[in-house]
Amino acid sequence: MRGVAIVGIGCTKFGEHWNKGIKELAVEAGIKAIEDCKISGKDIQLIIGGNMSGGMFAGQEHISALLADQLGLNPTAAIRTEAACASSAVALRVGYLAIMSGLYDIVAVGGVEKMTDVYGSQAITTLAGAMDQETEAYFGLTFPGAYALIANRHMYEYGTTREQLAMVAVKNHKNAIHNPIAQYRKAITVSDVLESPLVADPLRILDCSPITDGAAIVILTSADIAKKYTDTPIYIKASAQASDTLSIYDRKDITTLSATVKAARDAYAQAKIKPKDIDVAEVHDCFTINEIIAYEDLGFCKKGEGGKLIQMGETEIGGRIPVNTSGGLKAKGHPVGATGVAQIIELVEQLRGEAGKRQVKNCEWGLAHNVGGSGATVVVHILSNNR
Amino acid sequence: MRGVAIVGIGCTKFGEHWNKGIKELAVEAGIKAIEDCKISGKDIQLIIGGNMSGGMFAGQEHISALLADQLGLNPTAAIRTEAACASSAVALRVGYLAIMSGLYDIVAVGGVEKMTDVYGSQAITTLAGAMDQETEAYFGLTFPGAYALIANRHMYEYGTTREQLAMVAVKNHKNAIHNPIAQYRKAITVSDVLESPLVADPLRILDCSPITDGAAIVILTSADIAKKYTDTPIYIKASAQASDTLSIYDRKDITTLSATVKAARDAYAQAKIKPKDIDVAEVHDCFTINEIIAYEDLGFCKKGEGGKLIQMGETEIGGRIPVNTSGGLKAKGHPVGATGVAQIIELVEQLRGEAGKRQVKNCEWGLAHNVGGSGATVVVHILSNNR
């Protein structure tokens, strides 16, 4: 079976871009990705773009055709994918399938979200589109609220502490200092988190990922031809996805994301490795509790021991399994439709050995974990610098 | 290379479903599709769902995970695709690629749109999300306006008449009488069209496809195993897509959709046939002018002669190349995210010989033409009952 490689990467700075819209962000990322490898725009045979809610954030749908147009790539076919905050991880999966089909050799995959052109509660209303409207959002549940319920239950079941949640944010801010694209490049302390304004008990504002503008694009080729376009191809060794209920009331256990467990199991089987083989991981820390749950669901520690894992420093750069070396969604920023591919870009930089002061030593295997909503969609990719 | 077959089809009635939301519509279509073939829900390995604007129409994104959830298919992976009114034709393309990859054997592909829960100008604003907001919609252009510009230019360049436009609506209404799922099952006359309220000169309300709720789902398998699940598999012989500018001001010629020309050329090459081989076609008659332009761009007649083709009766059932036997978007209805797959369902019924009073005799080749926006995305599929 043919393989798939990532040969080029491009990402905008994440943050508030008051002077750039969807088009400018996507074009900037696209040009960087093309310049990062020996490919020109006309070589690209298919474009897959993730975007969660261009309609509600900016009145703009038909996002991928817009990207093809703005990048000067017409008549190249363009498809938008959406799976809430996992929209661009599913774009990567579709790009992967397109190359695996044998019908395409070179595919551009990306994500974009323009979130800051909103007022009042528009951002929270839009993001609630990832929930089941009829059973959650209409009754006033928000995403911080949903993850607060999850956090409380995790604390009750496993003794996870408020301080352990804070340590996730502290670590991710520390990592972001060395990431030039990150939204918040400044250190914070556990007491900063504990003293920050309460959003939904127990989650405080420094437990929450921010509202962010940004775009991230990668260029895929079939593995056979990758070395024509770059000296450092990174291979997609697994692409797995699973679904769960949109509503958390409908789940047997809210301290785990069952779709993470399923997607991770499938991904490890595809890559023929075990969790202990992963050298670096980007996980979906939309709220601090979700990074702790991801540790457990991805098999980096036993169920209930995620809090201890962060406390022991095991997920720091230099620890046993460094997580969110980019700064994560918390500090790098979370332009929802771009996040999945941005995670991939961090792994590519790590696996190429180009991550500068964030570099994890002797990286061979990287894992990306992207979550839509409160876990109704989970996508896990495993990358390697070794074909 | 492996092939892809359609083994099951399911569609709701199209129209205003005041008592059904996105979930109920999708479940109804999904159950019908499963009951139409010897497949049970647990056999489905992947779900691809097209939806244009669940966010703006209903506050609901994360549409495909919602479908997986409501259909009881968790943890099966689910991906939403969007390309404006071509959202479910691109879903079909992604499902096709997934099976061609060899990684999936059985995939459910569908589309859903709930459009009637809107007030005031919300529908027209939402649909304008398919345009470039910054260069068209913000300045007051609407889709009827865009197609009116196109119609005026076509009439000016080629002498296409107001009556010829009306004949498209008359034919499609006539066909819809025999389609049990159609929104408008009643005959209209040329004078009905000419006397109907003006929307955007020269287009009148009976030139415009309606606002519609509906869902359409098909089950795909690899061609090798299709006969296990149905006695009448229909094969996807071509799947092609092309892009063009979102803004019509940016085009050299607005009397043609260049993306249709490109996608059609690619599709005919994949299927190794010529336009004259097509026995039945479903084309994107969002406005009457677009059916006439489609005749020309798909090669059913020479450029500029689309008006004559409808006038000569060549596209009637019984004519040389019957078009929109379902009633088309005009009379069957146009739930934008569901339309692409609904076109496919009509072709499957024709190619199976199950189209009742709409049946075209001796059908072997069917073509579906689905347009996003004013032609920024065009998808062409060619189906056959002959592997």
* C-alpha–C-alpha distance, residues B59 and B57, integer Å: 6
Mean pLDDT within B1-24: 96
Q: For this structure, is B284 an active site residue?
A: no
Query: Which listed residue (A154, A173, A334, A381) is catalytic?
Result: A334
Q: How far is CA A3 from CA A46, A222, A384, in A?
A: 17, 6, 12
B 218-257 residues inside an 8 A Cβ radius of A: 240-246, 250
Cβ burial of B90 (10 Å; 0-12, 13-18, 19+) is: buried
Residue B164 tokens, joined: 């010829």
- To the nearest 10 degrees (0 to 180), the angle between helices B288-297 and B162-176 is 90
Q: Does pLDDT of B93 surpass 80?
A: yes
Q: Three-state DSSP class for A282?
A: strand
Cβ contacts of A90 on chain B, cutoff 8 Å: 79
Report yes or no: B377 and B86 within 8 Å, Cβ to Cβ. yes
A and B: number of Cβ contacts within 8 A: 212
Query: Measured at the alpha carbon of residue A115, what is the angle toward residues A113 and A118, in degrees to the nearest 5?
Result: 150
- Would an 8 Å CB–CB cutoff place A124 in contact with chain B? no
Phi-psi region of B88 (alpha: psi -120 to 50; beta: other; left: phi over 0): alpha
Report yes or no: B6 and B216 within 8 Å, Cβ to Cβ. no
- Listing DSSP states for B230-260 in one string gives -SS-EEEEEEEEEE--SSGGG-S-TTS-HHH
Give the pLDDT confidence of B218-270 residue by residue, as tens digits.
Answer: 999 999 999 999 999 999 999 999 999 999 999 999 999 999 999 999 999 99
Q: Does pLDDT of B137 surpass 80?
A: yes
Residue A386 tokens, joined: 């070794």
pLDDT in tens, chain A (387 residues): 789 999 999 999 999 999 999 999 999 999 999 999 999 999 999 999 999 999 999 999 999 999 999 999 999 999 999 999 999 999 999 999 999 999 999 999 999 999 999 888 889 999 999 999 999 999 999 999 999 999 999 999 999 999 999 999 999 999 999 999 999 999 999 999 999 999 999 999 999 999 999 999 999 999 999 999 999 999 999 999 999 999 999 999 999 999 999 999 999 999 999 999 999 999 999 999 999 999 999 999 999 999 999 999 999 999 999 999 999 999 999 999 999 999 999 999 999 999 999 999 999 999 999 999 999 999 999 999 999
Q: For this structure, is A85 an active site residue?
A: yes
Query: Which listed residue (A85, A208, A286, A363) is catalytic?
Result: A85
User: Which residue from B255, B299, B28, B46 is spatially nearest to B159, judged by alpha carbons?
Assistant: B255
Query: Which listed residue (B11, B37, B85, B301) is catalytic?
Result: B85
* C-alpha–C-alpha distance, residues B220 and B345, integer Å: 12
Nearest residue on chain B to A83, alpha-carbon basis: B62
Strand partners, A305: none
- Sign of torsion, CA B183 B185 B191 B192? negative
* C-alpha–C-alpha distance, residues A165 and A155, integer Å: 10
- Length, in residues, of chain A: 387
Nearest residue on chain A to B81, alpha-carbon basis: A81
What DSSP character marks residue A156? H
- Mutation for A interface: B52, B76, B79, B100, most A CBs within 10 A: B79
- Average pLDDT across chain B, whole number: 97
* C-alpha–C-alpha distance, residues A105 and A220, integer Å: 8
Q: Determine the pLDDT at residue A121.
A: 87
* C-alpha–C-alpha distance, residues A205 and A210, integer Å: 9
Q: Determine the pLDDT at residue B267.
A: 98
Q: Which pLDDT band holds residue B163 (cuts at 50, 70, 90)? A: very high
Respond yes or no on whether the N-terminal peptide bond of residue B75 is cis (omega within 30° of 0).
yes
B 341-380 residues inside an 8 A Cβ radius of A: 372-373, 376-377
Cβ contacts of B370 on chain A, cutoff 8 Å: none
Report yes or no: A45 and A106 within 8 Å, Cβ to Cβ. yes
Interface contact B59-A132, CB threshold 8 A: no
Q: Determine the pLDDT at residue B1.
A: 73
Pick from A340-354, B109-123, B290-304: least confident: B109-123
- Would an 8 Å CB–CB cutoff place A95 in contact with chain B? no
Q: Does pLDDT of B151 surpass 90?
A: yes
Cβ contacts of B1 on chain A, cutoff 8 Å: 102
- Would an 8 Å CB–CB cutoff place A94 in contact with chain B? yes
Cβ contacts of A19 on chain B, cutoff 8 Å: none
Helical segments of chain A, H only: 22-35, 54-58, 63-70, 87-100, 122-127, 143-158, 162-176, 190-195, 258-271, 288-297, 306-311, 328-332, 339-352
Domains of chain A (ranges plus CATH)?
4-119+212-234 (3.40.47.10), 137-207+237-384 (3.40.47.10)
Interface contact A55-B60, CB threshold 8 A: no
- Mutation for B interface: A4, A23, A44, A61, most B CBs within 10 A: A61
Residue of B62, B90, B128 lying closest to A79 (CB–CB): B90
Chain A: give the shortest CA distance to residue B225, in Å: 18
Report yes or no: B320 and B164 within 8 Å, Cβ to Cβ. no
